[in-house]
Amino acid sequence: MENKPNFETGEGLNIQNDTRNVIDKYKGVSVKEIRKDLETSRHDFHIAIENFQHDFNIGTIARNANAFNAAGIHIIGKKHWNRRGAMKTEAYMNILHHKTVQDFINWAKENNLKLIAIDNQKGAKNLNSTYLSKGSVLVFGNESDGLSEEMIKACKEMIAIEQFGSTRSVNVGVASGILMYEFVRRNYLAK
């Protein structure tokens, strides 16, 4: 039986010499050592994605979470997701799977984390006028359906990205990058 790679620990992944998506500082460094180094500077926020329709955008969201060094990525629902868009960056991240929304909500409560829904449904506050506090989980839904009612009810607030054109929404992968950048900018870069 062939050993399958473990994307959650990086074990069995042949990315030692894959420099397509690794900054110079980490070229030639093992997955284990990169993960260890990243743990010393993780930003105090998590990302969660409801994965009920096997959304292909999860890979992009995971890659963004790596780029902004989120504390963790949470996949809620189906455990399997298309890692192609992540470009193997998920190997450096803390990934947790929760079978149900309630399992995830319980985990967040146990870890004293604030859930923030990222969706443009009625009642959402504009990103520009909200505070993104440390110790939060930014929760994203499926591209077409958005977040479930159960998840929205569990969140302390809902934030939408202001838009100025004719489209109803930006792609959820794009939205995740905007939100993560804003979180890091406001909490770690602003002086």
Q: What is the pLDDT of residue 169?
A: 87
Mean pLDDT by 10 residues, the chain (191 residues): 51 51 83 94 97 80 96 92 85 95 98 97 95 97 88 97 91 96 94 65
Q: What is the pLDDT of residue 21?
A: 65
Note the pTM of the prediction, 2 decimals.
Answer: 0.87
What region, left, alpha or beta, does residue 141 occupy, with left being phi > 0 and alpha being psi -120 to 50 degrees? Answer: beta
Q: What is the pLDDT of residue 168?
A: 84
Secondary structure in 3-state letters for the chain: CCCCCCCCCCCCCCCCCCCCCCCHHHCCCCHHHHHHHHHCCCEEEEEEEEECCCCCCHHHHHHHHHHCCEEEEEEEECCCCCHHHHCCHHHHCCEEEECCHHHHHHHHHHCCCEEEEECCCCCCEEHHHCCCCCCEEEEECECCCECCHHHHHHCCEEEECCCCCCCCCCCHHHHHHHHHHHHHHHHHHCC
Q: What is the pLDDT of residue 72?
A: 97
Q: What is the pLDDT of residue 147?
A: 94
pLDDT single digits (tens) 25-46: 888 888 899 999 999 999 999 9
